[in-house]
Amino acid sequence: MTILITGGAGFIGSNFALDWLAQSDESIVNLDKLTYAGNLETLAGLRGDARHTFVKGDIGDAELVKSVLAKHQPRAIVNFAAESHVDRSIHSPEDFIQTNIVGTFRLLEVARAFWSHLEGNVKKGFRFLHVSTDEVYGSLTAGEPAFGETHRYEPNSPYSASKAASDHLVRAYHHTYGLPVLTTNCSNNYGPYHFPEKLIPLMIVNALAGKSLPVYGDGLQVRDWLYVKDHCSAIRRVLEAGRVGEVYNVGGWNEKPNIEIVHTVCALLDELRPKADGKPYKEQITTVKDRPGHDRRYAIDASKLESELGWRPAETFESGIRKTVKWYLANPDWVANVQSGAYRDWVSRQYDLVDATQG
């Protein structure tokens, strides 16, 4: 048996591939376009493993996807492929439209054709699992209940709007064509192999380099934080036993403001990698202008996933963030290799910082 994952060289997809093959002998075909955030080095431990087949390609390339499905005959498709950084969507929205909407549409079309020609139990058991985000639901005020699966979609950025559109397409392909789909909407992920443009890895990397730690606005934007390996275990569980056509929210039950996250990272670095001069890392925190349309609060109600499928996260935020900081401290070569000149230029432009350490 084989499953196809798309976007499997990105942050969540690569963690999923590594965890899947650590727990199962079922093969993975891994399709990834290898954009800036796709990193084959993350999958270095799978080199030579016959259970892992990597295919470089775009989910929007219908002929390529068709040939992959015909050759490998997967029993399921797990769609991680997406442009996912809100800040980048503000500056370059068209990339998000092409990948998240057009790409998902073409993937669905090819999957539908493939599934329609299956027979018997093979057809009955086929699944298309679409991995999405809590950002499609919009923003919450401080006292509002967390997002449930029936919460109205109110996306506020080009990124979240493009993901909302892809969610609607997946739903439509189930209700119109009968394609056996599942959708998961997750909260903010963190953990190993996270590209250092997102909040937690950016803070770790900048702190160690003696650079500014840029925090948007007042830093009181609240997010629910989910350790990436917990997210992967949730996806495995939904793929295994989720009801066809259903949506499952995946959260960590860890609502925290961004500034608290930054202070926690600084405190862990003070403990695990103290500065030679004894000064605290929090002195590097710098407030920068808030980004346009910045959602104030996200919160996930993952009780449906718990009540129906028995899933809860294994990590608390305290245990997960400690594991994450330790991983970055132990893997400086991985960090150095993903920090290309283009990435440094992006961070400098996005946060409008002039830092002497960047040359």
Residues assigned a catalytic role: 134-135, 159
Q: Where do we find the tokens 């068209």?
A: 94
> What DSSP letter does each residue of 67-113 carry, written as one string?
HHHHHH--SEEEE------HHHHHH-HHHHIIIIIIIHHHHHHHHHH
Euclidean distance between CA atoms 143 and 152, whole angstroms: 17
Helix (H, G, I), strand (E, B) or coil at 21: helix
Mode of pairing for the β-strands spanning 222-227 and 255-257:
antiparallel
**How far, in whole angstroms, is CA 146 from its chain's centroid?**
20
Cα(212)–Cα(280) distance, rounded to whole angstroms?
13
**Which residues, at least 6 apart from 67, have a Cβ–Cβ distance to it below 8 Å?**
none
112-120, long-range: CB within 8 Å, 24+ apart, which pairs? 112/173, 112/177, 112/179, 113/66, 114/66, 114/69, 114/70, 115/179, 115/180, 116/177
Rounded distance between C-alpha atoms, residue 140 and residue 13, angstroms: 28
Q: Which two tokens stand for residue 172?
A: 């439509």
> Could you give the CA distance from residue 140 to residue 149 in angstroms, rounded to a whole number?
15
Write out the two tokens for 8: 């499997």
